[in-house]
């Protein structure tokens, strides 16, 4: 490919195996960059012509290079906050190990301060009774404790924290949530389900400054860079996070492309404002690297809490009840909301886990397509772990993106917990990725970090290809017919995710005119065994032509 402008480059990277994700020139050996933008991608001779007296030359030594990765579904502020301030608990830990972690944290925390953290495995939730509450109280000492579960939809509190949150036997269940109680005494046992979680989050929230929030985001972006991620969609962006993003962007300290998703409803953290009150503020936070172009709708919950909305019932619970779960909006309400947001130019990410929620979302999107067939707004179905076969082709027909997150396309602790609530064979028919791809649906890869403990895309990429647990801790294969090819898995973490977020003109492929966002790997993924893809190491990450991470 010939260079775009015939001016000297600031940077030339040569002698590489460069996978561009650009159909015009899919594999090249050299790149040229000026002012943070790719100006050429081609062979050594064509790019060498852009060398000037001040051009920096990087010899890639034959290394594999590809576009910076794109994460369509992450919560970086929450992850950075957890990294800097909170107790990190692996969801596979048993109850005794969780209690030991709390006890250790309490021993090194100033008296009376909150102990916050997660993620407690969903498999422990059914055992959180009065006995478990007493054990947590003993581990915590004089500290209030709030632990999030691995879905981040539920909270486990000790007695001190329940008191600070104003929760007692007389506290009614909030709308869309439940306070678990001892069946004999009616006293809370510490588990807050779905919408009740906001009671705890509001109590635990401490006054923070824009700079301290910015520090959490900065740490999160550093971690993302270490895995090669240079662009992400914040999957639920409250006002404090918008302010922190703007603060960093204005100071030239935000080294990533960020698409914000402003919450229409927020049953889990109690953030305020939400909905129209927040939407009208969005242009204040638009910046060089920040695009506040999406809203986020929580339409249903999660199977582990029996709040995901299904067409067919759950397994019977301890009281013999099955139920189907439910949605937070009626079909009419959702259609009206989407039509209005589309008219305002807002794209939408809709949290849908159960197949009934997916169908309701598609019905509402169909109403938008009928009402405004030429609208350019984007629609993403987030998670979509369970999709009725009859609805797979509808995603393609309605031009709906499948936001494939978190990494549940292989066996793991969350999938094990789902099997305790959802009957077979439905529980084993999760994440129909192959069917979606074959139907022509645009797939976009995400991590749902810190719901998932790590934002490492290479773990998800391996799982997409093998449908097996990359860690080897959980045996078996989850619906192997739904495996994707490696080239598809790489595309949905780069070019296709950028398209899904509305930033394909900026990044996602190494095409001249786009931002010079690229990564150097320790191996060629195409020459790597499928079960070793998760071991891929990012040696260097560039954002806008600037090296922002280098492995030691």
Q: What confidence tier does 125 reach under pLDDT thresholds 50, 70, 90?
A: confident
- What is the pLDDT at residue 453? 85
Is residue 485 over pLDDT 70?
yes
Least Cα distance to 433 among 469, 398, 403, 462 occurs for 403
**What are the tokens at 401?**
């993106």
**Which domain covers residue 185, as residue numbers?**
93-204
- Residue 403 domain flag: yes
Highest mean pLDDT among 81-90, 224-233, 407-416: 224-233
SS3 assignment, position 465: helix
- Give burial (CB, 10 Å; 0-12/13-18/19+) of 59: exposed
In a domain, 402, yes or no: yes
Domain with residue 139: its CATH number is 3.10.310.70
Based on the domain organization, do 392 and 504 belong to the same domain? yes
Tell me if 252 is assigned to some domain: yes
Answer yes or no: do 387 and 512 share one domain. yes
| CATH code for the domain of 440 | 3.20.20.140
Would you call 111 helix, strand, or coil by DSSP?
coil
Write out pLDDT tens, residues 445-458: 999 998 888 999 99
* 173 shares its domain with 282: no
Residue 82 maps to a domain: no
Q: What pLDDT does 3 receive?
A: 47
Q: Evaluate whether 176 touches 267 at the Cβ level (below 8 Å).
A: yes
Q: What is the spatial distance between Cα 362 and Cα 343, in angstroms, rounded to a whole number? A: 18
Mean pLDDT on 440-469: 95
Residue 2 has pLDDT above 60, yes or no: no
Q: Establish whether the linkage from the previous residue to 449 is cis, with ω within 30° of 0.
A: no
pTM of the predicted structure, to 2 decimals: 0.87
Among candidate residues 387, 488, 388, the one with its CA nearest the CA of residue 443: 488
Whole-angstrom CA distances from 218 to 78, 230, 241 are: 12, 13, 12
More confident residue, 524 or 267: 524
109 Cβ contact partners less than 8 Å away, ≥ 6 residues apart: 115, 143
Of the three residues 178, 204, 230, the one that is the final residue of a domain is 204
Q: What integer pLDDT is reported at residue 413 of this predicted model?
A: 85
Residue 97 and residue 199 in one domain: yes
Of the candidates 478, 546, 518, 452, the one whose C-alpha atom is nearest the C-alpha of residue 228 is: 518
Summarize pLDDT for 294-326 with one digit per residue, the tens: 999 999 999 998 999 999 999 999 889 999 999
**Residue given tokens 């999030």 in the structure block:** 148
**Final residue of a domain: which of 177, 204, 231?**
204
Contact indicator for 501, 233 with CB cutoff of 8 Å? yes
Do 526 and 486 form a contact (C-beta atoms < 8 A)?
Answer: yes
Indicate which CATH number applies to the domain containing 45. Answer: 2.30.40.10
Look up residue 261 and give its two tokens.
Answer: 């998703």
333 lies in some domain: yes
User: For the chain, what percentages of helix, strand and coil (3-state, to nearest 5) are there?
Assistant: 35, 20, 45
Q: What is the pLDDT of residues 159-175, one digit of tens each?
A: 999 999 999 999 999 88
Question: Looking at the domain assignment, is residue 322 inside a domain?
Answer: yes
Q: Please write the tens of the pLDDT for every residue from 134-152.
A: 999 999 999 999 999 988 8
pLDDT band per the 50, 70, 90 thresholds, residue 497 = very high
State which of 189, 204, 219 marks the end of a domain: 204
Which whole number is the average pLDDT over 109-122?
Answer: 88
| Preceding peptide of 450 cis, ω within 30° | yes
| Same domain membership, residue 214 and residue 200 | no
Q: Are residues 418 and 466 in the same domain?
A: yes
Helix axes 76-85, 239-250, angle to 10 degrees: 90
pLDDT at 270 over 80: no
Q: Note the pLDDT of residue 62.
A: 98
Q: Are 296 and 356 members of one domain?
A: yes
| Residue 69, in any domain of the structure | no
pLDDT per position as a tens digit, 3-32 = 444 699 999 999 999 999 999 999 999 999
d(C-alpha 494, C-alpha 199), whole Å = 38
What's the pLDDT at 201? Answer: 86
Query: According to the model, what pLDDT value does residue 461 have?
Result: 97
Same domain membership, residue 408 and residue 267: yes
| Same-domain check for residues 427 and 385 | yes
73-115, pLDDT tens digit by residue?
999 999 998 899 889 888 889 999 999 999 999 999 988 889 9
Residue burial 18-32, b: 16+ Cβ < 10 Å; e: rest: bbbbbeeeeebbbbb
Q: Is the pLDDT of residue 464 over 50?
A: yes
Residue 75 belongs to a domain: no
pLDDT at 1 over 50: no
Say whether both 403 and 494 belong to one domain. yes
323, 310 contact by CB (below 8 A)? no
Per the structure, how many domains does the chain have? Answer: 3
Residues 159 and 221 occupy one common structural domain:
no
Pick the residue with more confidence: 212 or 312? 312
Rounded CA gap, 521 and 531, in Å?
17
- Give the DSSP letter string of 118-144: EEE-GGGGGG-SHHHHHHHHHHHTT--
Q: Is 369 found in the same domain as 260?
A: yes
| Dist CA 383 CA 498 (whole Å) | 17
pLDDT for res 23: 94
Distances (CA, A) of 324 to 41, 310, 311, 466: 53, 5, 7, 31
Pairing of strands 518-521, 538-543: antiparallel
Residue 119 preceded by cis peptide, ω within 30:
yes
Tens-place pLDDT, residues 32-82: 999 999 999 999 999 999 999 999 999 999 999 999 999 999 999 999 988
CB 467 within 8 A of CB 434: no
Assigned token pair, 455: 């934002």
Taking the C-alpha atoms of residue 17 and residue 524, their distance in angstroms, rounded to an integer, is 8
Q: Would you call 280 exposed, middle or buried from its count of C-beta atoms within 10 A (0-12, 13-18, 19+)?
A: exposed
Q: What is the mean pLDDT of the chain?
A: 94
When comparing pLDDT for 271 and 337, which is higher? 337
Is pLDDT of 374 > 90?
A: no
Residues 325-342, mean pLDDT to the nearest whole number: 96
pLDDT for 206 equals: 59
């Amino acid at each position: 490919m010939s260079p775009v402008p015939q001016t000297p480059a600031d940077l030339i990277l040569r002698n590489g195996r460069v996978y561009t994700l650009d159909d015009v020139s899919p594999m090249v050996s050299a790149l040229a960059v000026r002012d943070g933008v790719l100006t050429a991608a081609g062979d050594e001779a064509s790019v060498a012509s852009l060398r000037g007296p001040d051009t920096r030359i990087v010899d890639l030594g034959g290394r594999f290079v590809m576009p910076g990765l794109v994460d369509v579904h992450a919560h970086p502020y929450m992850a950075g906050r957890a990294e800097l301030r909170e107790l990190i608990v692996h969801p596979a830990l048993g109850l005794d190990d969780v209690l030991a972690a709390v006890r250790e944290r309490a021993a090194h925390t100033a008296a009376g301060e909150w102990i916050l953290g997660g993620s407690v495995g969903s498999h422990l939730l059914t055992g959180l009774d009065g006995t478990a509450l007493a054990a947590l109280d003993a581990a915590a000492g004089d500290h209030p404790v709030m632990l999030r579960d691995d879905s981040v939809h539920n909270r486990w509190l000790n007695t001190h924290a329940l008191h600070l949150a104003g929760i007692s036997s007389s506290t009614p269940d909030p709308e869309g949530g439940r306070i678990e109680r001892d069946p004999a005494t009616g006293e809370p046992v510490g588990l807050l389900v779905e919408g009740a979680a906001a009671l705890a989050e509001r109590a635990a929230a401490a006054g923070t400054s824009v700079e301290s929030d910015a520090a959490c985001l900065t740490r999160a972006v550093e971690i993302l860079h270490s895995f090669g991620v240079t662009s992400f969609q914040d999957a639920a962006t409250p006002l404090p996070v918008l302010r922190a993003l703007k603060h960093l962007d204005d100071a030239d300290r935000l080294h990533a492309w960020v698409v914000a998703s402003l919450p229409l409803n927020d049953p889990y953290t109690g953030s305020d404002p939400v909905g129209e009150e927040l939407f009208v503020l969005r242009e204040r936070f638009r910046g060089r690297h920040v695009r506040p172009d999406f809203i986020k709708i929580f339409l249903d919950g999660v199977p582990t809490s029996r709040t995901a909305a299904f067409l067919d019932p759950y397994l019977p619970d301890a009281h013999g009840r099955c139920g189907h779960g439910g949605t937070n909006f009626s079909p009419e309400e959702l259609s009206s909301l989407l039509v209005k947001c589309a008219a305002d130019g807002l794209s939408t990410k809709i949290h849908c886990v159960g197949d009934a929620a997916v169908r309701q979302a598609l019905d509402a999107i169909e109403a938008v397509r009928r009402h405004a067939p030429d609208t350019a707004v984007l629609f993403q179905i987030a998670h979509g772990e369970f999709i009725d076969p009859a609805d797979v082709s509808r995603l393609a027909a309605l031009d709906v993106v499948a936001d494939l997150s978190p990494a549940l396309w292989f066996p793991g602790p969350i999938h094990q917990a789902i099997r305790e609530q959802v009957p077979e064979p439905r529980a084993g028919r999760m994440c129909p990725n192959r069917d979606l791809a074959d139907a022509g649906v645009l797939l976009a890869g995400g991590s749902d970090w810190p719901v998932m403990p790590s934002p490492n895309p290479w773990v998800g990429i391996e799982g997409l290809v093998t449908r097996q647990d990359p860690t080897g801790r959980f045996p078996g294969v989850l619906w192997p017919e739904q495996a994707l090819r490696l080239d598809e898995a790489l595309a949905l973490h780069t070019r296709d995710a950028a398209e899904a977020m509305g930033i394909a003109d900026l990044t996602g492929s190494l095409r001249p005119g786009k931002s010079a966002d690229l990564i150097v790997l320790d191996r060629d993924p195409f020459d790597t065994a499928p079960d070793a893809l998760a071991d891929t190491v990012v040696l260097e990450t560039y954002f806008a032509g600037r090296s922002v991470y280098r492995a030691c």
